[in-house]
Amino acid sequence: MSTDPTARDQRLLRLLSAVVVVCAGVFALKPISSGDTYWHLTAGKTTAQHGYWWWPEPVGLTALEEWCNHYWATNLPAWLIWEAGGPVGLGIVTALFAAMAAAAVLWLARVLAPGAPWTALGFGAIAIAGFHYRFAARPQAFFLLMVPLGMLVGHRWARPERLSRAVIAGTALFLLLWAHGHASATIAPLFLAGLAFGVVVGLDGSLTLTGFTRRRLAAFVGVSLIPIVLGPKGLGSLGLVSSHSAGDTVQHIAEMQAMPLDAWWPPMDAPLLIAEALTLLAVVGMVRKRRFELGPLALAVLGLMLAATTLRFRAVWCVLAVPAVLAAWAPAREEITHKLLGGAATGVALLLLVLASPSPGLGVVRGNFPVGATDFLRAADFSGPVFAGSRAGGYVGWELQGAAKIPIDGRNPLLFNSEEYYAARRAMTDMQPLEVLDRRWGFGAVITYKNQPVCDGLVASPEWIPVYVGPIFALFGREGSDLAAQPLTALEPCGRTSQVVRCRTEPGYGDRARAEIARLSAIVPDEPWLHRLDAMMAMQCPSPDAAGAGVALERAAALDADHPDLPWLRGQLFVLAGDEDGALRALEGVDDHYEAGMLRLRLLKKADRPADALPLAKALLVQEDDAAPIPLRELGAWACDQTGDDVCATVQAYRATVEGSTTAPALLRRLLDEGRVPTHLVPVAQGALNGLP
């Protein structure tokens, strides 16, 4: 093995670069959570069916009869990947895009700082940590890859040798692909221009220009017109950027809003902090060198302007700032200090990637979409207009393949105009706007969030009949329709009353509710919430059914093995079977689930294990804060009292007394009698007990 320090450095550089790229890919493995993914799949499939990117709108209820799919070069392949591998396959490909984009950023940094590989690695890794969070199964993953690749293409134009036809043709094809893959192509030439032409201004008044030959300028202007002239919408593409940066619609979509003034400092999140720090370092470094490279600096300023206009561009700003910070700080030859700083920066970037990213996972975030309600509509062979919100609309349109027509999805302002979006978002919460839309479109079904006032309005309306309920969404059918033939008669569509409370207080309710759950589960067998609800009611209602609860719980676990309610339900099942030790084992390590924690605390108290109960009680009390219920405070006071934590015991006994506990006053009085109440709390404890027996 070579002992050459340079060879060792190269091996370590390659290893760290590979680690950054692999981490970028691994931590981009995310389940699908955006409704935009689904309308892109619909658009990709429709493009394949029509063989062209202009086609009659397949799912949207809108004033436009035709729509231009200017993302066809990304959502058509996404549909093909989905057909082959479903959400898992699409998630893996998205992660591969994240890894390739990370590699492109490191490659760009290395090319821009050939004599400073450690400096390039450090700044490149930090930029990756800043833009990585934006990767999702949407065309934006393509855009985030094209930005560093575009700057690499621009850097190729800056080479001193004669510009070849192959480079010009390659650039033209690159921009043409960009134009058919993402709406940002109209500003893509700016990303190339920052590195294609050099303008260096010295504080001594010197000016150096590179690349400004007549042939290069003419060629660059020519290729820059390609995404504008030859894109799917032709010259109409010029309006895409402006429509995504201003207007009423933009102000009601969080990621498209302008940067709030109070978000700049302190920075609203790590990506913005990274982008600001890299840009500030670039300016400071250029002032220090008394030499300003205006091309790289213009890219950093462009990133700032994009972020100021649209929040989501702060990720791109991180990458656009890399050339400027390297121009300011990359030495011609590195010393040991540069190696140490570059390695440390890479370590910080990796730490940020790990801490800022959710645990890797694949599939679909079911709670974001009306999965069960849509399956119910499919089983009923429903067709016609159906109301669903923006995120839900994209999912419903895709899943029902045009049988259902929706008034909104994520294509605003691309397809749905600002007033259509206004009416739809208001109808997601209130009944009056929904009735206005209903008069226009004549909905046959409505999918709504259970916790919104519009759900109560639908329940109160004789026009709408509840037919299905899931964990987040409820489904209503129009009165008199085939969909409404079997209404819900037991389960609460809007979740205003606890099913468990009703089964304990209304004779016969538990049997009726479980029968209704069984009917819905036969129609939508893959909804784990229904099986969890069945298990809970089998255990909590009068005349518990342990066998039925066990079957339902097993089915729920098979469908969603990681749901946080499962340990709590398993614990209840063990208690029902008389195995309290088994219940404690099932609940072990569950510290952030209130119901599971309370069950474990009660079992620990029954087993007289206050030392084991104390950490959990304190964690739940912090979690619930002022909303902590009396039973939790009573259990906390018991655990603290039994373990000798007098301050904690006093505080919880006092607070439980203030809240109206009937048992806490006796403990508080005993603590006073034993002299265990801290001196400064004696007056308030005595005051709380005044007048109590």
Q: pTM of this prediction?
A: 0.89
Residues 471 and 559 sit within 8 Å (Cβ to Cβ): no
**Of 466, 416, 417, residue with least CA distance to 446:** 466
For residue 362, give the DSSP letter.
Answer: -
Distance CA 209, CA 198 (A): 5
Give the C-alpha distances (Å, rounded to integers) separating 556 from 32, 518, 530: 21, 13, 8
How high is the pLDDT of residue 242? 62
Residue among 389, 378, 367, 382 nearest 477 (CA) = 382
If pLDDT is split at 50, 70 and 90, which confidence band does 684 have?
A: very high
Report whether 295 contacts 199 (CB < 8 A). Answer: yes
Confidence grade of residue 245 (pLDDT, cut at 50, 70, 90):
low
The C-alpha torsion from 19 through 25 and 29 to 34, rounded to 10°, is 140
Mean pLDDT to the nearest integer, 525-541: 93
Q: How far apart are CA 134 and CA 359, in angstroms?
A: 15
Query: How much of the chain, in percent, has pLDDT values that exceed 70?
Result: 97
Alpha-carbon distance 244 to 249, whole Å?
9
pLDDT, position 132:
92
Residue 605's pLDDT is 96
Rounded Cα gap, residues 509 and 253, in angstroms:
43
What span, in angstroms and rounded, lies between the C-alpha atoms of 271 and 280?
14
Instruction: For residue 211, name the pLDDT band (cuts at 50, 70, 90).
Output: confident
Q: 216: closest CA among 170, 256, 292, 160?
A: 160
Within a 10 A sphere around the Cβ of 505, how many other Cβ atoms?
Answer: 10
152: its two tokens: 């690499």
Query: What number of residues does the chain have?
Result: 693
Given this model, what pLDDT does residue 243 score?
A: 61
A 10 A CB-CB count for 239 gives 13
Q: What is the pLDDT of residues 301-356, one digit of tens each?
A: 999 999 998 899 999 999 999 999 999 999 989 899 999 999 999 999 999 999 88
Give the per-residue pLDDT at 672. 94
Asked which of 242-251, 276-285, 392-401 is least confident by mean pLDDT, the reply is 242-251
Distance separating alpha carbons of residues 196 and 207, to the nearest angstrom: 17
In this model, does residue 422 exceed pLDDT 80? Answer: yes
Distance set, CA 338 to CA 129, 274, 330, 331, 564 (Å): 20, 19, 9, 9, 47
Would you say the C-alpha torsion 341, 332, 12, 270 has a positive or negative sign? positive
- Give the model confidence (pLDDT) of 601-658 as tens digits: 999 999 999 999 999 999 999 999 999 999 999 999 999 999 999 999 999 999 999 9
Lowest-pLDDT choice from 95-99, 192-196, 580-584, 689-693 = 689-693
Q: What is the mean pLDDT of the chain?
A: 92
pLDDT in tens, 550-570: 999 999 999 999 899 999 999
Say whether pLDDT at 241 is over 70: no
pLDDT at 87: 96
CA distance 480 to 477: 9
DSSP string, 177-225: HHHHH-GGGGGHHHHHHHHHSEEEEETTS-EEEES--HHHHHHHHHHHT
Residue 60's nearest CA partner among 452, 421, 382 is 421
DSSP 473: E
Dump pLDDT digits (tens) for 155-177. Answer: 999 888 788 899 999 999 999 99
Q: What does the pLDDT read at residue 501?
A: 85
